[in-house]
Structure 1
Amino acid sequence: MNNQSVPHIGQIVKILRGKDTGQVAVVLSHADNKFVYIADGDKRKFDQAKKKNLIHLETQTYISSEVANSLMENGRVTNGKLRYAVMKFRQSTETNAEEKGD
């Protein structure tokens, strides 16, 4: 179920390979057509964004408009906004899982 579409800036991705397998992060920028820079604001800060191959990521439908807007306006985003985006994504997936379970 590997989604090979190029993720948008501010989009949440699930990490499929590497030491962060299973974690989620936010796309900060595109390195080229095969790599993006990601961070979660917690273990992986904005200033040490991780370069990841797209085949090692699964794009999620959630896009953080706060992160996308901040990056477009300032070229950077706070780690707090990244953590908030990840938290909002986790809340939305937990809510969806609970609704499906009923």
Structure 2
Amino acid sequence: MSDSDSSPRIGQFVSITQGRDAGQYAIIIRILDERFVLIADGDKRKYDKPKKKNINHLELFEDVSPEVQSSISESGRVTNGKLRFAVTKFVNEQITDLEKGELIDGERRCN
């Protein structure tokens, strides 16, 4: 387990691995304790109604959205539009990287 897996951060991108929303991406908007976080994507999960998730049911990415992080630290909240924009941008960059043949789980993907 890497440091990012053991310590979630506000604004960090996650992929949901368990539950109804499995396969979707979201952003951590609050850390409840060492085991649970609140996540939102601005679309299905709005900031006002986030999903409580066990961090063991999430894949944490190294990437953190500086816009979301600064907005939450400055005003205590973030707009759903900003969450949607950040998640969409992150997903598009991830897909682009995969198409270019970036490393996946330590193996090079061949197109």
Give the aligned partner of residue 5 of structure 2: 4
Gaps of 5+ in 1: none
CA RMSD of aligned residues (A): 1.7
TM-score normalised by L of structure 2: 0.86
Higher relative contact order (CA 8 A, sep 6+): 1
Superposed CA offset, 1:20-73 (max 9, x none):
001010000100110000000000000001110010001012210000000000
Whole-angstrom distance in 2 between the partners of 1:36 and 1:98: 31
Q: Does residue 1:80 correspond to 2:81, yes or no?
A: yes
Give percent identity, aligned residues only: 51
Gaps of 5+ in 2: 102-109
TM-score normalised by L of structure 1: 0.93
Give the aligned partner of residue 41 of structure 2: 40
SS in 2 for 1:4: helix
Larger Rg: 2
Count matched residues.
Answer: 102
Give the aligned partner of residue 61 of structure 1: 62
| Structure 1 residue 7, shift from structure 2 partner | 1.5
Map 1:23-38 onto structure 2 (within 5 A). Answer: 23-38=24-39
